């Protein structure tokens, strides 16, 4: 019984480089049964293609605009990332109706853990993500600040803080956001950020 050919996708932002890779693979075809099932000119395009075209192997350029090969690998399911550089991603990938949607990190207002999902909030809408809030904090700690045990807020999205008093007379701080008409509670444990960020804003 003949071996099923290896299904490959080539990803490179330069068409000549993709063509050269095809020629090299043609040279290997006699020794290893393979078939190129698709090509993409960017990491973003590759994710869209891989959503509908199953592949055994992705051959990707590292240096590409918009989304490089390292970040592409981070978005692929089952990718072994132990030896990849630990740079922060520029997107979070969310699956909606069996397609991959990329949410740019700079558009995220906050990340809130609810049950087993994380709600990603942008100015336009919400997305659901299955990731760990702690790991996201480790990866994007420069950009986000923890305001509560279940919530990270983008530093750039903080408009200010407001002190609120509950019906029972208990006072607490809330963070006011740019682009989203919501106020999020600041836990007692994180109240130091009110002074810290307020002082930064004040110069």
The number of residues making up the chain comes to 203
Write out pLDDT tens, residues 156-197: 999 999 998 888 888 889 999 998 998 999 998 888 888 888
Q: Supply the pLDDT for residue 4.
A: 81
Rg (CA), the chain: 22
Q: Helices in the chain by DSSP H: which ranges? A: 15-28, 43-52, 69-75, 133-140, 192-201
Return d(Cα 173, Cα 175) in angstroms, integer. Answer: 7
Q: How confident is the model at residue 85 (pLDDT cuts 50, 70, 90)?
A: low
- Please provide the average confidence, as pLDDT, over all residues in the chain: 85
Where do the structural domains in the chain lie, given as residue ranges?
1-85
Looking at residues 87-96, what average pLDDT do you find? 82
Evaluate whether 127 touches 104 at the Cβ level (below 8 Å): no
94-130 confidence digits (pLDDT tens): 888 877 788 999 999 999 998 889 999 999 999 999 8
CATH 3.40.50.2300 is held by the domain 1-85: yes
């Amino acid at each position: 019984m003949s071996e099923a050919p290896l299904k490959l996708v080539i990803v490179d932002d330069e068409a000549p480089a993709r063509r050269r890779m095809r020629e090299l693979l043609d040279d290997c075809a006699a020794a290893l049964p393979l078939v190129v099932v698709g090509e993409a000119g960017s990491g973003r395009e590759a994710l869209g293609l891989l959503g509908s075209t199953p592949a055994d192997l992705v051959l990707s350029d590292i240096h590409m605009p918009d989304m490089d090969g390292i970040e592409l690998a981070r978005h692929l399911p089952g990718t072994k990332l132990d030896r990849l550089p630990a740079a922060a991603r520029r997107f979070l990938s969310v699956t909606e109706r069996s397609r991959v949607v990329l949410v740019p990190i700079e558009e995220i207002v906050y990340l809130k853990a609810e049950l087993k999902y994380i709600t990603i909030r942008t100015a336009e809408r919400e997305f659901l993500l299955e990731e760990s809030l702690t790991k996201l904090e480790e990866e994007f700690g420069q950009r986000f600040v923890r305001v509560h045990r279940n919530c990270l807020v983008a530093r750039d999205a903080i408009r200010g803080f407001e002190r609120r008093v509950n019906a029972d007379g208990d006072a607490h701080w809330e963070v006011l956001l740019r682009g989203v008409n919501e106020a999020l509670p600041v836990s007692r444990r994180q109240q130091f950020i009110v002074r810290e960020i307020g002082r930064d804003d004040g110069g």
